Chains A and B, each alone.
Chain A
Amino acid sequence: MKEESLPKISKDLCSRLLSDLEAAKRPVLEAVKCSLDNSFYNPKVGFLTPGKKMVRTELNVSSVQKMSRAIFLLEILLRNVETGAVNTKRELYYMAKGEVKHSPELKPLDFQDQSESDSVIDFICEMLECYREELNCYANDRGGQTYSNQLVVTETLPDGGRAVVDLGSLGTTPFQPKNRPQSLQLKAKSRIDFCLIVESEGTANTFVANGFCKRHRAILMGAQGVPSNAVRGWAKLIQDQLKVPIYFFGDLDAYTMQNIFRTLKAGSAASLIRNSDFSAPDVKFLGVLPEDIKKYDLFDYPVKESDPGEARALKKAVDALKNDPFFKDRRNKGLAEILHWLLKNKRRCEQQSYFTVNSRDPQMPEKIIVEKIKKKNYI
């Protein structure tokens, strides 16, 4: 969906609602149902796509509050789009509160906390089938710090100007991808062999400090946990514009497999409508693989089922194998097998365990990673 068309689509929608009301007909708002039961995975497309299920919100006394809030926030967002102003969700929350403060008749719309306004913003995006960045609402994105001696990024600025960043000239300072990576153009100064995304930001920094980028013609990125929109969009951009193989290196546990790697590779059920721009289907799972534990004699430990987070991740893994179209697809059999292994053995192994292989050689994890890439030991 094009950004330019959003104000028009919004106005058309509002006009339709108004016409319905004039005719005393119940207006209905429809939005794509963003949930796993409405997700489809086609390996040729490479990411989760929405099915035909829609969430219908018909105007009645119960939904009138939600609908009023949605139209109220839509008006603020459209104003931003028209003027080119950008805001975070938190800022929008305060802006909404400010409107209420200055117009007492709007008091019933007041948000008690940010989660309320956030859910209305999400609803608007689902209704207009756009992502919030298209409505100039940016997240305070984290992660994605990138290092490379070969990469040059050109950013198109809102005023039409251009900014060129040569990552090789930044030294050990990382490049931070923007919320809308679509406005970036990538170019390789010289050949790039691969891109490595490391789950832990700290480990990625260690690799750089130890000279990873000097020894390899590569792009190194820290994901910092569950990938934000910026990380996802950035990975997609690297995949599409540079056509280099991308590898993900993270923990061996159910949480990493599903919440981090699956989201990076195929998007998530919650973001069905924007997975096309925020997933990198070619990314491979480099490790930690179950066989690595034995091969490198890695230090692993049992999953603490008493820990609510870990227990939830295991339960989610069972659900994923049953219901997640990504893991159910036979092309991702290898990844599903990892989940099976995790459920069966109830053990986990962290990415930092590579440092146990030879604690006196700081480059050992790097050597293992490169060896794995060379031997195509990934899924």
Chain B
Amino acid sequence: MAKQKITTSSTAEYFSKNLQQVGFSSPTKAVLTTLKEAVDNSLDACEDAEILPELSISVEKIGAGTLKNTDLVKIRVEDNGPGIEVDDLSKVFGEYLASSKFGRGRCSRGQQGIGISAATTWAQLTSAKGVTVITRTPKMRQAVSALVEVDIKNNKGVLKDKKTLSWDRPHGVSVEFVIDGRIQLNGEGGLLTYMTGTALVNPHVNLKFKVLDQPWQTIKRVTDRAPDVPEATEPHPHTMKLGEFIAHSHLFGRSTAATWLKKGFSRITDNAIGEFVKNGMNKKLTDTSVDKLNEANFKDIFAAIQKTELMSPSTRSVMTIGEEAFSKSVRRLGEVDFFAVVTRKPTICDYKPVAVEVAVARLKDGNAPSQDGEAPPSSVLRFANRVPLQFDKSACAMTKAVETVNWRAYGLAQPRDSVPMGPYVIAISLVSPFIKFKNASKETVDASDELVEEIRRALMQAGQRLSRHIRKEHREADLEEKLQHIEQFCPILVDCLCRITSAPATRKKKATEGIIKLLGRDVNAAKKQLTEAVKEVKDHEARGKIQIIKKESAEDQTPAGSEAEASEAELTVDANTAEAPAPKKGAKASKKEKGAEKEKAAPKEKAAAKEKTLVKAKKVAKGKEKTKEEELA
């Protein structure tokens, strides 16, 4: 056999040949991933510097791409973050695995320092030009602009065309990628879906964006409080492997083993060390200097630790959006009818701290039923460390959790083992310093049983809260149906009976009076049930567990400052004042029209159509109630 020459290659070389592993598997994904990486970096930087982020994003087509069936796309992301020192530019954008966040155990969006370098590589490979960066830190008198490229052979960033320029921002970063790609606006992998998702889980962000030829759009922040990013806690010994354990010891040099264990790990106390000794660790080792320990000693200590039961890792390192901020943010999804938000307490899943937050909202103009009256499935929005996950949903822990909840119990239609049907949006946010992604492109979260169960619980809590409102709607529809039944069927039943028995008109009259009296009692009972259901919902609303968006007059809906920003299409109203979106013109249909609409509705048995009918019935019920009462009287 001929002798083969063994060569080594750089990390950059590996990734440049395997960009599909980090989210560049198709032209559509390439655009989204590039944008995502740039936005993630901006948001992380702002959070670190405790700055309320203001992002300006533009994505436009500037020509034909070099690859088949692609366009040349320019992606520009500008932030008001702390800026990047010029010396760091080449590392941040041009070097793989150069990160300020790697292994810090914080809930930041980026972790390894791969994404943005991969985006630079993609730009370099497809348009022969890296990323153009403008940066300015508060200390710099002028901004610096440079082109950063990746030296693929050596995994180093290369700075080109460096020049100073005046920039109207006191600090911040602007990145511009020109890449081959395809722009998808809507749908699961769409850019607009990404924007709405990012705004939803980042209530403190001001997002201004322009995609293709659409006008500039703004999503305003709904909270002025930047999230407190908790500091990382020490690692838990049960989450480590032997090699990591030994490597960790090198940080503690001459300290004693006891000091190393207590200071270097979470959940190890003097009592725990006593337990280690009971479980086979040599007591003398506790006072031995760490650098004197040999491999056998490390193995002994490690084995004793594994045998000992320790408290679960701390959940202090996990942050949440919070129910209040999340509630405000949910309204930015569109015209929301009502919603429930649940923030679970941080907990431990698979030895990793994790916090789950869930929002379930019903949209007024959500997915319309298909022609055969079947409602389409609800939208499931997935977020990991406040980043939207838009691909490969079927294997994700969050999708599995949604599918395994029995939504029928909460009044939603649901085919077996599927997401519920109807105009609902189910947003799930998972925050953890150690999210177990299934791949490097961070598109899917591994579906471990513990994690799925934790998400399920959050969803079930949200479902329970929603069900009160849905039940109230059912009662309203029920009352409406009962009133209609009396009006429609009583005369028919009496007529038929009289014809069959050849009864005289006097009997007919008496029977009609009798049946209306009888069924009137049922209506009264239904009204009582409805009153109770309304009271229940109000109680729940008062406790903040469910929020119902009430209709307000059109004048109240005009967003503040809309004149100044007349050219920009406002996606939402100023949510700081928590105002609801304006109802559509002509929303108030006449009673007759509504009645006709109701007749056209699909049969009640069809669960999906029922949902639609319920909403309509709710509208009709109020108007008709008085008339029916008079008739009954």
Across-interface contacts of B5 in A (CB, < 8 A) = none
List the one stretch of B172-180, B381-389, B497-505 in contact with chain A: B497-505
How many Å lie between the Cα of A326 and that of B522 in the bound state?
A: 43
| CB–CB B489/A64 < 8 A | yes
A18 close to chain B: CB less than 8 A: yes
Cα(A112)–Cα(B515), bound, Å = 26
Inter-subunit contact A24/B489 (CB<8 Å): no
Is A109 an interface residue, CB under 8 A from the partner?
yes
Which residues of B, 60-92, contact A by the 8 Å Cβ criterion?
none
- Report A9 CB to chain B, min CB distance, Å: 12
Min CB–CB distance A221 → chain B (angstroms): 39
- Given A21-B511, A65-B489, A108-B488: A60 and B500 interface contact (C-beta under 8 Å): no
A71 close to B497 (CB less than 8 A): yes
A74 is an interface residue with CB less than 8 A from chain B = yes
Known contacts A24-B517, A61-B522, A109-B492; can you find 6 more A-B pairs with CB under 8 A?
A11-B501, A22-B514, A23-B514, A59-B519, A68-B496, A105-B492
A-B pair count, CB < 8 Å, reads 92
Chain A residues positioned under 8 Å from B481 (CB to CB): 61
Given A17-B497, A71-B500, A75-B500, decide whether A108 and B489 contact each other with a Cβ distance below 8 A. Answer: yes
Partner of B496, one of A60, A71, A108: A71
Are B492 and A59 interface neighbours, CB within 8 A?
A: no
Contact indicator B514/A78 (Cβ below 8 Å): no
Interface residues of A (CB under 8 A from B): 10-11, 14-15, 17-18, 20-26, 59-62, 64-65, 67-68, 71-72, 74-75, 78, 105-106, 108-109, 112
Contact A18 B507 (CB under 8 A): yes
How far does the Cβ of A165 sit from chain B's closest Cβ, in whole Å? 39
Give B522's nearest chain A residue, CB to CB: A61
A83 to chain B, nearest CB (A): 15
Whole-angstrom distance between the alpha carbons of A17 and B499 in the complex? 13
**Contact between B485 and A61, CB atoms less than 8 A apart:** yes
Give Cα distance in the complex from A105 to B523, angstroms: 23
Chain B 461-490 near chain A by CB (<8 Å), digits 1 or 0: 000000000000000000001100110111
A68 engages B492 (CB within 8 Å): yes
- Quote the shortest CB–CB distance from A361 to chain B (angstroms): 50
B496 touches A24 (CB 8 A): no
B interface list, Cβ under 8 A from A: 481-482, 485-486, 488-494, 496-501, 503, 507, 510-515, 517-519, 522-523, 526, 603
Closest chain B residue to A15, Cβ basis: B501
Contact A68 B518 (CB under 8 A): no
Given contacts A24-B514, A24-B517, contact A74 B500 (CB under 8 A): yes
Task: Give 8 pairs: A residue, B residue, CB < 8 Å, sorted on A.
Answer: A11-B501, A15-B501, A22-B511, A25-B514, A26-B518, A68-B492, A74-B496, A108-B492
A72-B496 contact given A21-B511, A61-B486, A65-B485, CB 8 Å threshold: yes
Within the complex, what minimum Cβ distance (angstroms) separates B434 from chain A? 40
A24: nearest chain-B partner, CB-CB: B514
* Complex Cα spacing A78 to B501, Å: 12
Residues of A within 8 A of B499 (CB): 75
Q: For B511, list chain A residues within 8 Å (CB).
A: 18, 21-22
For B488, list chain A residues within 8 Å (CB).
Answer: 108
- Chain B nearest CB from A81 CB (Å) reads 12
- Known A-B contacts A21-B514, A65-B489; the reply to A11 vs B500 at CB < 8 A is yes
Instruction: Select one of B486, B490, B507 contacting A22, CB under 8 A.
Output: B507
Whether B485 contacts A67 by the Cβ 8 Å rule is no
Question: Complex formed: what's the CA distance from A10 to B499 in Å?
Answer: 12
Q: Which residues of B contact A21 (CB under 8 A)?
A: 494, 497, 510-512, 514-515, 518
CB distance from B415 to the nearest CB of A (A): 16
Is B490 within 8 A of A64, CB to CB? yes
Per the bound structure, the CA–CA distance linking A75 and B493 in Å amounts to 11
Chain A residues with CB below 8 A from B507, complex form: 18, 22
CA distance A71 to B511 in the complex (A): 15
Cα A74 to Cα B492 with chains together (Å)? 13
Contact across chains for B485 and A64 when beta carbons are under 8 A apart: yes
CB distance from A46 to the nearest CB of B (A): 37
**B493 and A71 contact, CB distance less than 8 A:** yes
Considering the complex of A and B, which 10 residue pairs feature the smallest CB-CB distances, nearest first?
A108-B488, A21-B511, A61-B482, A24-B514, A61-B522, A68-B493, A71-B496, A21-B514, A14-B500, A22-B510
Residue pair A60, B510 in contact (C-beta under 8 Å): no
Q: Are B501 and A14 in contact (CB under 8 A)?
A: yes
Q: Which residues from B are CB-within-8-Å of A62?
A: 482, 485, 522
B516's nearest neighbour on chain A, judged by CB, is: A24
Contacts of A112 in B (CB 8 A): 603
Residue pair B517, A78 in contact (C-beta under 8 Å): no
* Nearest Cβ on chain A to B205's Cβ, whole angstroms: 50
> Which residue in chain A gives the minimum CB-CB distance to B526?
A61
Chain A residues with Cβ below 8 Å from B497 are 14, 17-18, 21, 71
The answer to whether A75 touches B494, judged by C-beta atoms less than 8 angstroms apart, is no
